[in-house]
Amino acid sequence: MHLEWFDRVCEELQESLNSICEKYDENGRMSIERGAKHPRLDFFTYSGEEDIDYFCTLFFDPYNEEFYIQTIDPEYGLTSKVVLEDIDDIMDAVHESFHEYIEADFIETEDSGYIMDDEEETDEIYFEEIDVEWETPEVTAYYDEDEVEISYQFGVVGETGDGVLKRTNRIWTKDDDLIKDESHFIFSKDEASTIIAMIASHMDSLAPLEEGEV
């Protein structure tokens, strides 16, 4: 894979992103996933309470040596690929995504702080109210000391019998702050065998994580 352009852009972004705007400087963060088949840059906000919210993912095609983002048509659910030609296009895409995220998910208060909107709080409360019987402890799938830990836990929804897979991502910053992100995937017994078979048959296509990168 040819990653010279990817590495150059990563370096440039790390130096220049904070100058996009004052709000990004206060809230924006970036993580690099170099070990994926299509390396990516994830952009997120860190609330200071061990929670992160992703607002933009930038992919890199190492064979065509081009950056792109994926967009979804809300009406038809179709995914499209938007190629970003140069660093200016990349900076503009990140900046625009950040402000769309701020406007959609946060309300500016009189003291210039931000609070989550009612819809986001409702989604979090909804999952907390589901009665899950955890069948396994957290199992560490990947660990790089003082850098990142990824773990999984399997459970069953008591009311429906559906399976739940919880992914916990813990990242330690250079300042030794812990950033914790949890996501949940719910599936039925009928889906489980198909999911397992699809993953097992494509294991050779997957790339391992590289140390120090998420």
Question: Which pLDDT score is estimated for 205?
Answer: 83
Give me the mean pLDDT over the 41-59 stretch: 77
Distance from C-alpha of 209 to C-alpha of 166, rounded to nearest angstrom: 19
- Dihedral of the alpha carbons of 129, 135, 141, 147, in degrees to the nearest 10: 50
Question: Which pLDDT score is estimated for 126?
Answer: 45
Residue type at 127 in one-letter notation: F
Q: What is the mean pLDDT of the chain?
A: 76
Question: Which pLDDT score is estimated for 108?
Answer: 41
pTM value?
0.47
Task: Give the end-to-end CA distance of the chain in Å, rounded to a whole number.
Answer: 18
Beta bridge partners of 31: 42
Give me the mean pLDDT over the 24-49 stretch: 78
User: Which of 22-36, 80-94, 111-125, 126-140 has maximum average pLDDT?
Assistant: 80-94
Give me the mean pLDDT over the 111-127 stretch: 44
Question: Which pLDDT score is estimated for 171?
Answer: 87
pLDDT level of residue 124 (50, 70, 90 thresholds): very low
Residue type at 97 in one-letter notation: S
Topology annotation, domain 129-205: Nuclear Transport Factor 2; Chain: A, (3.10.450)
How many beta carbons lie within 10 A of that of residue 145, not counting itself? 9
Structure letter (DSSP) for residue 203: G
Distance from C-alpha of 164 to C-alpha of 133, rounded to nearest angstrom: 9
Q: Which residue has the higher pLDDT, 128 or 69?
A: 69
Alpha-carbon distances, residue 65 vs 5, 7, 15, 36, 55 (angstroms): 7, 11, 21, 15, 23
pLDDT level of residue 136 (50, 70, 90 thresholds): very high
User: What's the gap between Cα 132 and its chain centre?
Assistant: 24
Q: Which of 5-19, 32-46, 95-109, 179-193 has the lowest mean pLDDT?
A: 95-109
pLDDT level of residue 77 (50, 70, 90 thresholds): low
Query: What percentage of the chain has pLDDT greater than the value 90?
Result: 4
Q: Where in the chain are the domains? A: 4-118, 129-205
Question: Which pLDDT score is estimated for 116?
Answer: 44
Question: Which pLDDT score is estimated for 119?
Answer: 44
Length of the chain, in residues: 214
Distance from C-alpha of 28 to C-alpha of 94, rounded to nearest angstrom: 10
